Amino acid sequence: MIAVPALVAGCAAVPAPSAAPAPTYPTTTAPTSSPTTAPPPDHCPPGGVRITALGGNAAMGLRAMGIELVNCGSTPYRLKGWPVPSLRDVDGDPIEVRIVQGARGITAGFDAPPRQLVLRPGERAGAALIWRNLVDNPTVPPADGRFLEVAPVAGRPTVPVDLGSSIDLGNTGRLGVSAWTRREEPAPSVPPTGAPAEATPPPDSRL
């Protein structure tokens, strides 16, 4: 199990950081009108990789969830970049989401650049999703993702992922993602709530 990022205490709004924001792009939506059911745990999708959700943490309006990719195929799988999630609501309708690559100021290591990975059959990679359950516009209904699909990187086929709980985005419409790392590498993390942290930067205004 990879570690899911702990959440940063103290989520009061602060001025946006001066650094240029990370690249963002909208998720693609599935071509069908209904969500795809996640395959059984022992099933290997046609793309040769299986993606699962590892549960999450929630506190002070912040949410974090780990995901794991397994090369379930018979050949090496090359991977470099960020996962591309897409969400559907309880009725199976697509939810418009803006993906933020990284989340500087929310958790240490979340903005680490991607590395080239070559996963042999059976090897794994991990990433994480982070978002705010925030309602900042009372005229926009909050979004609640009940179905999740993830493309390993932009341009590759999506893989349905079984969610243990919903992804409650509020109405911000933004979802941060970390780059894939090999399973044995440390996962993005911060000191637990209440523990001292070293110069924690302010929350990222992109989320």
152 within 8 A of 143, measured Cβ to Cβ = no
**Residues with Cβ within 8 Å of residue 111, at least 6 apart in sequence:** 22, 102, 103, 104, 178
- Is residue 27 predicted with pLDDT exceeding 70? no
CA distance 5 to 186: 11
Residue 148 is predicted with a pLDDT of 96
Q: What is the CATH number of domain 43-182?
A: 2.60.40
Q: Are 171 and 140 in contact (CB under 8 A)?
A: yes
The domain limits of the chain are 43-182
The helix (run of H) or strand (run of E) holding residue 129 is strand 124-132
3-state class (DSSP) for residue 26: strand
Compute φ and ψ for 69, nearest 5 degrees.
-110, 130
Confidence of residue 77 (pLDDT cuts 50, 70, 90): very high
Q: Does residue 17 have a pLDDT over 60?
A: no
Q: Does the pLDDT at position 43 exceed 70?
A: yes
Statement: residue 207 has pLDDT above 50: yes
Identify the CA nearest to 82 among candidates 187, 179, 188.
179
Q: What would the pLDDT profile of 109-141 be if each residue is shown by its tens digit?
A: 678 899 999 999 999 999 999 998 888 888 888
Contact of 68 with 119, CB cutoff 8 Å: no
Q: Rounded mean pLDDT of 177-186?
A: 84
Half-sphere exposure of 118 (CA within 13 A, CB side): 2
Contact 68, 183 (CB under 8 A): yes
Q: In terms of Cα–Cα distance, which of 53, 68, 59, 24 is closest to 131? A: 59
